[in-house]
Amino acid sequence: MNIIAIIDYGMSNLSSVEKATKYVAPNDSVVVTSSPREIDNADKVIFPGQGAAKNCMESIYDKNLDKIIKKNSKEKPFLGICMGMQVLMSYSEENSGTNCLDIFEGKVKKFKTRKDTKIKIPHMGWNKVSKKNDHPIWYKIKDESYFYFVHSYFIDPIDKSTVIGETKYGDIFSSVIARDNIVAIQGHPEKSSDTGLQFLKNFIGI
């Protein structure tokens, strides 16, 4: 039995992530926690999040979770979801500029609607992820599978070899990245029906 910690830093509603994780890992212990000790103690860590970058970073510092997140992201399977992906980057343009955790080098940028490619913001709905590299997280997931997205900002990592999935919304952006034991996804696997459940299952199996 594995212990899977879902990091709760007060920034989002974690009930969907918790329910989906329990669904794919019925024999594991799933804990929603802000305790550094419990996170350290877990075998795998899920780092979700919603909301604005600045509030997220403030919450992370308030709860003394920055070092724990950095440490755990080096030591064990670690999955960032949505805002939990964005704050892994160095810096976000959101809230007139917010320094983030700098686990991946690169910026978080806002979608822009242009005359030639008019897009609505937030990017809300089901969109395709094109696989860019092989990775165990893609087990049994077809190329160009649909995931559910809700976000207004997207990541632009400097090291493009970390990009394992891309999505087109106006322009093409990096929707899934991975390096060593870290995987991070902009979409919401917990809301992406069978494809999303397979993705979470693959993470649990890593």
Residues 30-69 that bind another protein (CB under 8 A): 50-52
What does the alpha-carbon distance between residue 17 and residue 6 come to, in Å, rounded to a whole number?
8
Active site residue 82: yes
What does the alpha-carbon distance between residue 90 and residue 4 come to, in Å, rounded to a whole number?
26
Report the interhelical angle of 193-205 vs 15-24 (nearest 10°).
70
- What minimum distance in Å lies between the beta carbon of 14 and another protein? 9
Complex with another protein: residue 119 or 158, whichever CB lies closer: 119
- Helical spans, DSSP H, in the chain: 15-24, 36-41, 53-62, 66-75, 83-86, 193-205
- What minimum distance in Å lies between the beta carbon of 26 and another protein? 12
Say whether residue 192 binds another protein (CB under 8 A): yes
Of 67, 110, 112, 120, which lies in the binding site for another protein, with binding defined by CB under 8 A? 120
Annotated catalytic residue within 18, 56, 82, 94: 82
Complex with another protein: residue 103 or 129, whichever CB lies closer: 129
Of 126, 179, 205, 206, which lies in the binding site for another protein, with binding defined by CB under 8 A? 126
Ramachandran angles phi, psi of 32, nearest 5°: -100, 120
Active site residue 188: yes
Say whether residue 197 binds another protein (CB under 8 A): yes
- Residue 113 to residues 8, 84, 168: CA-CA distances in angstroms? 33, 24, 13
- Tell me how long the chain is: 206
How many residues bind to another protein according to rule CB under 8 A? 39
From 66, 52, 82, 77, select the one nearest 186 (Cα to Cα): 82
Active site residue 135: no
Residues 130-169 that bind another protein (CB under 8 A): 146, 148-151, 167-169
Token pair in block for residue 74: 């080096």
Say whether residue 92 binds another protein (CB under 8 A): no
Say whether residue 95 binds another protein (CB under 8 A): no
Cα 164 → chain centroid = 13
What is the CB neighbour count within 10 angstroms for residue 179? 16
Say whether residue 125 binds another protein (CB under 8 A): yes
List residues near another protein by CB under 8 A.
12-13, 15-16, 19-20, 22-23, 50-52, 113, 117, 119-128, 146, 148-151, 167-170, 190-194, 196-197
Q: Which residues are catalytic?
A: 82, 188, 190
